[in-house]
Amino acid sequence: MVDFAQARRTMVDGQVRTSDVTDLRLIAAMLAVPRELFVPAARRAIAYLDLDVPVGEGTARALLKPMVLGKLLQAAGIREGDRVLDVGCATGYSAAVLARLAGAVVALEEDVALARIAGETLAASGVSNVSVVSGPLPAGWQRGAPYDVIVVEGASEVVPAALLSQLKDGGRLVAVIGSGPMGKATIYRATGAGATGQTLFDASAPLLPGFAKPAAFVF
């Protein structure tokens, strides 16, 4: 039987800390949240491995690799009073981690089954500052805007313009831009004149629905 507490510490010490994640609040959050509860029972044995753990049935949805999630959240610089939009929350693991860093989290998921699981698991875990909402991921959640931070839980082949428009002035959006091994973890910072992007590190993540580059017309 898997010792999940030990597996969680090994994940943080061997995958997260060794990837230059030094934010003590973030490390504490990732040590505290039981990732296995947000993974289907049949896959709990792999919940803490260095991979994107599949969580959907018949879909490509997955929890981000711990290293990628940790580095993205550290780059976002989330403060205790921040309002955060978690785009593509899947089963809610990322939202549970964010809940320990921010003041309030809106967890957006368009897959109805995953949204239901996220809501139930977060409630059972005693998380009270996360609201799970359903809607198309690329559109964000305008009703809760503006946000201090937006976290995109997967890859996007395009600049997420609609999401950027929901940031506060000075807000940050983190995402993996590009699909496959050529992906780049990127942070966008909102200013009065728009948003500027900065590449952070090489990263891969499953492509989120609605974030694929439009097919080019070929003569």
Burial 169-207, CB ≥16 within 10 A → b, else e = eebbbbbbbbbeeebbbbbbbbeeeebeeeebbebbbbb
Could you state, in order of their start, the residue ranges of all structural domains in the chain? 4-202
Q: Give pLDDT tens digits for 86-100.
A: 999 999 999 999 999
Query: In the structure, what pLDDT confidence band is assigned to residue 133 with cuts at 50, 70 and 90?
Result: very high
Q: Does pLDDT of 180 surpass 90?
A: no
Query: In the structure, what pLDDT confidence band is assigned to residue 217 with cuts at 50, 70 and 90?
Result: low
Q: Does pLDDT of 181 surpass 90?
A: no
Range with lowest mean pLDDT among 3-7, 69-73, 177-181: 177-181
Q: 4-202: which CATH topology?
A: Rossmann fold (3.40.50)
Average pLDDT estimate for 71-83? 98
Residue 172 and residue 195: Cα distance in Å, rounded?
Answer: 9
Average pLDDT estimate for 116-126? 97
